[in-house]
Amino acid sequence: MKFKNNVLLAGALALAVALATPPVMAAETAGGKAAGPRIADFRLANGLALVVIPDHRAPVVTHMIWYKVGAADETPGKSGLAHFLEHLMFKGTAKHPAGQFSTVVARIGGQENAFTSSDYTGYYQRVPSEQLRTVMEFEADRMTGLVLTDAVVLPERDVILEERNQRLENNPRSRLGEQMDAALFLNHPYGKPIIGWRHEMEQLSRDDAIAFYKRFYGPNDAVLVIAGDIEPDAALKLAQDTYGKVKRVDGIASRQRPQEPPQVSPRSLTLADPRVEQPAVQRSYLVPSFATAKANKLSGQSEALEVLGHILGSGSNSRMYRGLVVDKHVAVSAGAYYDSSALDMAKFGFYASPGAGVTLPQLEAEADAVIAQVIDKGVTDEELERAKARMIADAIYAQDNQASMARWYGQALMTGATVDDVRQWPDRIRAVTALQVQDAARQWLDKKRSVTGYLIKDTTPRAEQPAGIQPVKAEKRS
Amino acid sequence: MMRLFTAALLPAFALLVTAPTASAVTIEKIVSPSGIEAWLVREQAVPLVTLNYSFHGGGSQDGAEKTGTANLAADLLDEGAGDLDGETFHKRLENHAIELSFQVGRDEFHGSLRSLNEHRVEAFDLLQLALTAPRFEAEAVERVRRQSIAGLQRDTTNPNSIASRRWWQTAFPGHPYGRETKGTLESLPTITADDLRDYVRRVFARNELTVSIVGDVDAKTAGELIDRAFAKLPAKNDLKPVADVKPEGLGRRIVVNLDVPQAVVTFGGQGLARNDPDFMAGYIVNHILGGGSFSSRLYKEVREKRGLAYGVSDSLVWFKRAAVVLGGTATRADRTGDALAIIEAETKRMADDGPTADELAAAKSYLKGAYALSLDTSSKIAAQLTQFQLDRLGIDYMQRRSAMIDAVTLNDAKRVAKRLFGGGMLVTVVGRPKGLVSSGGE
């Protein structure tokens, strides 16, 4: 249950990489052992869910509205639409012309942004607490009041194309990730990039955006999370006064996506790019998320995978780093990760970059040996306890940051978890045994359910191309 | 956008523009038993402690042939210290979820520590070991060196890295500020363990140490913890002087060819020292031109109206010996020239005419209100306290800040806009920007 990395932000005020890895976050400590915040949740008559996370240390609030719709809900042929709509949500409503909401947020000393993942779309403002009602009024208004014209839609389409250039085309590692996702998911739309395929993005229209908006946005499909300097009752009253007046939207499509067939064949691919100076090998396995484990009565498996991810790949005493970088000197960097928060299946991955004189197949074999060791011999009690201590402490560190808490709960509720699931997360991590970790590795780190990607330097001489043409080999684009 | 506002909306604004709530943060100045001064904010809501500190003497202490020394030392401090080898040191950190981080800036070495209350004594002891007795063992030095070199190799085809490096090299030739603190592919292989020890010996001392601590801790305990970490350090550092310098190359445009679909642009010029009487006016004016919000002129003209880029912004950056205003964008190759022309025109318009009264009022309102957002976690507060101390702003700066913003008049803003943006810019462009060539150089 960690915050997802592959989420796109609308704003990109930070030029370098707007998507720096967010801090690791976790839920509050359960069972009253640490006096965490008193989290309250409500549901309004129109179906809107409300979660309030009081934190009175600073006179500010974080206000986030989350919609249960993401890139995986796009119609085939319209990739990038969920994210495009997220950008267009800043273009004004019948009541408030384009730019007014942002101007007011800036005037009151607030900050705002928005984000899109495969499973959800969210909008937030961070403002002085006495200004909460103002942003709630604006946000409630754009829940159903968006008005779009080509005059604002077309330049914004150019913006998302530049965003794709910035995130993907200018970055060989991101391009490899995109290809690997496409290969990992044989049938599920998680295989599409959230930002969209360029040729489809170029065709997205005003009508596409409005149709998507009407199909998915409404109070009964949304979760409001308010963290910071406010009490639950006061937040509820404000929510009733603002969002409470938005009518239910009937017929919001539920998130039923095409599911994966049994995966029976390991896949592998190579991305060659002339800019690669540091080759790499990566692998992604298709594994249960928290939500699918829960739905399929695979109790504890997602938590076991979280602990496994930590032991295998987090920090300099992890199996991957120690095995490949410190002990064998075959890699300059290595790690592994698992993100449990997905409505459908999740990914477990590892990566490594070879040292001098080491080939990618050699490095892959060494990484496979590290995994085989865990499958055969399991993990030590010391490793298990160290991982758990670190993960559970993160739950307390998270309380220091109201925005982290808001994102934490919002994301969980968007991906099939409940407030109680988040609350009980530290207890579930505590309960993971060494045997469960070994079983999870044995059951889920199966190459038949995986794709392996090599990133290499493209040394093919190429004809001079006009500027602006993608320097990519043709077969990689299809 | 402000100018498009209709009268009907103004009453709403009148309500909105209330005085920002006074921050709840109370800063105490404390002195540890060994005499180390620190600023403390007591925060009892979450059972943790956050320490932020800096030593004067960052990357600018590296010799010209040994750039990257400070950075490599920072990366190795937790790879074994005292009687603990690297593996054991990391295990001690991980077992108790203690976080130590070390970063090298141009002027300072920055560090932070975060720990649950129950493990704070161990946390400060481990920090003391890292600062006073790092091992710099050959295995670790070579491993971390390889990682750094791998990163630098990646940078050689990364348009952002190239644009930034070229900008700094050209602006500050022959000065430490012109060098990358990460070092170069040539310098890193030459750095020895003795170089690393020499850096630590010269920089980690008590005389130019700045300390901030935030958490569920009283003044007495805070002083004891601070002594655990820092009391054993030498009394005095031994730094090489760094000369005052101004950015050169203003008016130049440098185009670096790289086969990427999107051109990356870095632009900037002379900035304002933090203690310049015009600093606050400059800060406000820059916020209006290209600062961090969706309402800046550059954001509206480059992104919103024309869709030329996903992001564009600039900011004031200040050091001990120089100050710059620095910005960037990334834009499609066939319209890089257009984007650059707009940035230059908007910068000139700001220099010539300054902001409007409405823009000035909106920026003041934002900068006052948004301040609380930078003080809502222990880590942010601790980092701010360190910066206040380094900038010599005074322990009451937070109380005075709003009045300082309010005191900036429209005439001040216009005058400082001319001063800040009237001097020309150095621009670096990396990619295949259509029709753009280097200009203004020798």
B342-363 pLDDT, tens digit per residue, is 999 999 999 999 999 999 999 9
Identify the pLDDT of residue A465. 45
**pLDDT tens digits for range B372-411:** 998 989 999 999 999 999 999 999 999 999 999 999 999 9
On whether any CB of chain A is under 8 Å from the CB of B197, the answer is: no
On whether any CB of chain A is under 8 Å from the CB of B420, the answer is: no
Identify the pLDDT of residue B19. 34
Residue B8, CA distances (Å) to A96, A240, B18 in order: 11, 25, 19
**pLDDT tens digits for range A298-322:** 989 999 999 999 999 998 899 999 9
Q: Residue A66: phi, psi to the nearest 5? A: -120, 130
Report the gap between the CA of B113 and the closest CA in chain A (Å): 12
Q: Which residue has the higher pLDDT, B313 or B23?
A: B313
Q: Which residue has the higher pLDDT, A247 or A464?
A: A247
* Interface contact flag, A156 B157, Cβ < 8 Å: no
On whether any CB of chain B is under 8 Å from the CB of A430, the answer is: no
> What is the C-alpha to C-alpha distance for residues A148 and A112, in angstroms, rounded to an integer?
20
On whether any CB of chain A is under 8 Å from the CB of B133, the answer is: no
Of B228, B90, B236, B254, residue with least CA distance to B171: B254
On whether any CB of chain B is under 8 Å from the CB of A325, the answer is: yes
**pLDDT tens digits for range A84-103:** 999 999 999 999 999 899 99
Strands A450-457 and A267-273 come out as parallel
* Interface contact flag, A103 B260, Cβ < 8 Å: no
The burial class, CB within 10 Å (0-12 / 13-18 / 19+), for B407 is exposed
DSSP letter for each residue of B18-46: PPPPPP----EEEE-TTS-EEEEEE--SS
Residue A414, CA distances (Å) to A11, A79, A156, A303, B305 in order: 22, 20, 27, 18, 33
| pLDDT over threshold 70, residue A273 | yes
On whether any CB of chain B is under 8 Å from the CB of A151, the answer is: no
The burial class, CB within 10 Å (0-12 / 13-18 / 19+), for A477 is exposed
Sign of CA dihedral B117, B118, B120, B121: positive
* Interface contact flag, A128 B45, Cβ < 8 Å: no
On whether any CB of chain A is under 8 Å from the CB of B374, the answer is: no
| Mean pLDDT of the residues in chain A | 89
3-class DSSP string for A22-60: CCCCCCCCCCCCCCCCCCEEEECCCCCEEEEEECCCCCE
| pLDDT over threshold 50, residue B2 | no
Q: How many CB atoms lie within 10 A of CB A243?
A: 22
Residues of A in contact with B1 (CB under 8 A): 99-100, 102-103
| pLDDT over threshold 90, residue A7 | no
On whether any CB of chain B is under 8 Å from the CB of A106, the answer is: yes
Residues of A in contact with B258 (CB under 8 A): 275
* Interface contact flag, B307 A157, Cβ < 8 Å: yes
* Interface contact flag, B261 A470, Cβ < 8 Å: yes
Residue B415, CA distances (Å) to B271, B288, B335, B411, B412 in order: 14, 15, 32, 6, 5
Identify the pLDDT of residue A18. 28
Q: Which residues pair with B104 in a beta bridge?
A: B109
**pLDDT tens digits for range B292-327:** 678 899 999 999 999 999 999 999 999 999 999 999
**pLDDT tens digits for range B93-107:** 999 999 999 999 999
**pLDDT tens digits for range A205-221:** 999 999 999 999 999 99
Task: Please report, rounded to a whole number, the percentage of residues in chain A having pLDDT higher than 70.
Answer: 89
Show which of residues 8-47 on chain B sit within 8 Å of chain A, judged by CB atoms.
Answer: 9, 12-13, 16-18, 20-25, 43, 45-47
* Interface contact flag, A332 B150, Cβ < 8 Å: yes
**pLDDT tens digits for range B118-147:** 999 999 999 999 999 999 999 999 999 999
* Interface contact flag, B432 A56, Cβ < 8 Å: no
Show which of residues 288-307 on chain A sit within 8 Å of chain B, judged by CB atoms.
Answer: none
Mean pLDDT of A340-354: 97
Work out the pLDDT band at B24, boundaries 50, 70, 90: low
Report the gap between the CA of B50 and the closest CA in chain A (Å): 10
Residue B438, CA distances (Å) to B258, B426, B430 in order: 14, 11, 11
User: Which stretches of A278-401 are DSSP H helices?
Assistant: 290-295, 301-313, 319-320, 360-377, 381-398
Considering only CB atoms, B305 lies closest to which of A57, A155, A228, namely A155
* Interface contact flag, A333 B147, Cβ < 8 Å: yes
Residues in chain A: 478
Mean pLDDT of B179-206: 97
The long-range contacts involving A161-164, CB below 8 angstroms and separated by at least 24 positions, are A161/A198, A161/A201, A161/A202, A161/B307, A161/B332, A162/B262, A162/B307, A162/B308, A162/B309, A162/B310, A162/B330, A162/B331, A162/B332, A163/A8, A163/A12, A163/A195, A163/B310, A164/A80, A164/A195, A164/A196, A164/A198, A164/A201
| pLDDT over threshold 70, residue A467 | no
Structure token pair of residue B123:
């946390």
* Interface contact flag, B310 A277, Cβ < 8 Å: no
Identify the pLDDT of residue A462. 63
Identify the pLDDT of residue A36. 66
User: Which stretches of B133-250 are DSSP H helices?
Assistant: 138-155, 159-171, 193-203, 219-230
Considering only CB atoms, B160 lies closest to which of A16, A106, A325, namely A16
Identify the pLDDT of residue B23. 53
On whether any CB of chain A is under 8 Å from the CB of B418, the answer is: no
Mean pLDDT of B186-213: 98
Degrees to nearest 5, angle at CA A94 with A92 and A97: 40
> What is the C-alpha to C-alpha distance for residues B243 and B107, in angstroms, rounded to an integer?
12
Degrees to nearest 5, angle at CA A67 with A62 and A70: 120
| Mean pLDDT of the residues in chain B | 92
> What is the C-alpha to C-alpha distance for residues B289 and B315, in angstroms, rounded to an integer?
9
Q: How many CB atoms lie within 10 A of CB A430?
A: 14
Residue B111, CA distances (Å) to B52, B108, B330 in order: 6, 10, 32
Identify the pLDDT of residue A162. 93
All residues at 6 or more sequence positions from B196 whose CB lies less than 8 Å from its CB, including other chains = B69, B72, B73, B76, B134, B136, B141
Show which of residues 338-357 on chain B sit within 8 Å of chain A, judged by CB atoms.
Answer: none
Residues of A in contact with B433 (CB under 8 A): 467
Task: Please report, rounded to a whole number, the percentage of residues in chain B having pLDDT higher than 70.
Answer: 94
| pLDDT over threshold 70, residue A204 | yes
Report the gap between the CA of A121 and the closest CA in chain B (Å): 19
On whether any CB of chain A is under 8 Å from the CB of B378, the answer is: yes
Work out the pLDDT band at A461, boundaries 50, 70, 90: confident
Which one from A28, A74, A86, A137 is the annotated catalytic residue?
A86
Identify the pLDDT of residue A6. 52
Structure token pair of residue A422:
């988040």
Report the gap between the CA of A21 and the closest CA in chain B (Å): 16
Mean pLDDT of A354-373: 97
The chain A residue lying nearest B215, using CA atoms, is A400
**pLDDT tens digits for range B238-280:** 999 999 999 999 999 999 999 998 999 999 999 999 999 999 9
Mean pLDDT of B146-174: 96
All residues at 6 or more sequence positions from A122 whose CB lies less than 8 Å from its CB, including other chains = A64, A65, A66, A67, A114, A115, A116, A410, A414
* Interface contact flag, B20 A109, Cβ < 8 Å: yes
A163 is catalytic: no
* Interface contact flag, A159 B157, Cβ < 8 Å: no
Task: Please report, rounded to a whole number, the percentage of residues in chain A having pLDDT higher than 90.
Answer: 83
Number of Cβ pairs < 8 A linking chain A and chain B? 252
| pLDDT over threshold 50, residue B227 | yes
Identify the pLDDT of residue B10. 29
* Interface contact flag, B375 A468, Cβ < 8 Å: no
Task: Please report, rounded to a whole number, the percentage of residues in chain B having pLDDT higher than 90.
Answer: 90
Q: Residue B431: phi, psi to the nearest 5? A: 150, -145
Work out the pLDDT band at A38, boundaries 50, 70, 90: confident
